Amino acid sequence: MASPPFPPLPTLPTSAVSSGFRVSKEHLTTIVPVAVAAVLGTYLVRRYLSGGSSGPKGHVNLTVKKDSSKVVHSFDMEDIGSKAVYCRCWRSKKFPYCDGAHAKHNEETGDNVGPLIIKKKDA
Ligand code: FES
Q: Which amino acid is at 111?
A: D
Q: Are 62 and 99 contained in the same domain?
A: yes
Q: Are 106 and 75 contained in the same domain?
A: yes
Lowest mean per-residue pLDDT among 34-38, 86-90, 94-98 = 34-38
Is residue 9, in this structure, part of any structural domain at all? no
Q: Report the CATH number at residue 94.
A: 3.40.5.90
Is residue 40, in this structure, part of any structural domain at all? yes
Residue 94's CB is within 10 A of a number of other CB atoms, namely 11
Residue 27's CB is within 10 A of a number of other CB atoms, namely 13
More confident residue, 47 or 110: 110
Q: Is 67 left (phi over 0), alpha (psi -120 to 50) or beta?
A: alpha
Q: Which amino acid is at 47?
A: R
Residues in the ligand 1 pocket, defined by CB under 6 Å: 87-89, 91-92, 98-102, 113-115
Please state the rounded mean pLDDT for residues 82-109: 97
Is residue 15, in this structure, part of any structural domain at all? no
Is residue 18, in this structure, part of any structural domain at all? no
Is residue 27, in this structure, part of any structural domain at all? yes
From the CA of 86, give the closest atom in ligand 1: 4
Please state the rounded mean pLDDT for residues 101-106: 97
Is residue 11, in this structure, part of any structural domain at all? no
Helices (H), 8-118: 25-49, 77-80, 101-109
Can you give the pLDDT at residue 73?
96
Q: Is 70 a catalytic residue?
A: yes
Q: Are 48 and 63 contained in the same domain?
A: no
Can you give the pLDDT at residue 5?
66
Please state the rounded mean pLDDT for residues 27-35: 67
Report the percentage of the chain scoring pLDDT > 70. Answer: 57
- For residue 109, the CA-to-ligand 1 centroid distance in Å is 14
From the CA of 94, give the closest atom in ligand 1: 3
Choice among 70, 93, 119, 121 that is catalytic: 70
- For residue 41, the CA-to-ligand 1 centroid distance in Å is 35
Q: Yes or no: say if 62 and 91 are a contact pair by the CB < 8 Å rule.
A: yes
- For residue 89, the CA-to-ligand 1 centroid distance in Å is 5
Q: Are 87 and 115 contained in the same domain?
A: yes
Is residue 17, in this structure, part of any structural domain at all? no
Best CA proximity match to 86, nearest among 123, 54, 118: 118
Q: Which amino acid is at 68?
A: S
Can you give the pLDDT at residue 36?
63
Q: Are 64 and 47 contained in the same domain?
A: no
Range of the domain at 36: 23-52
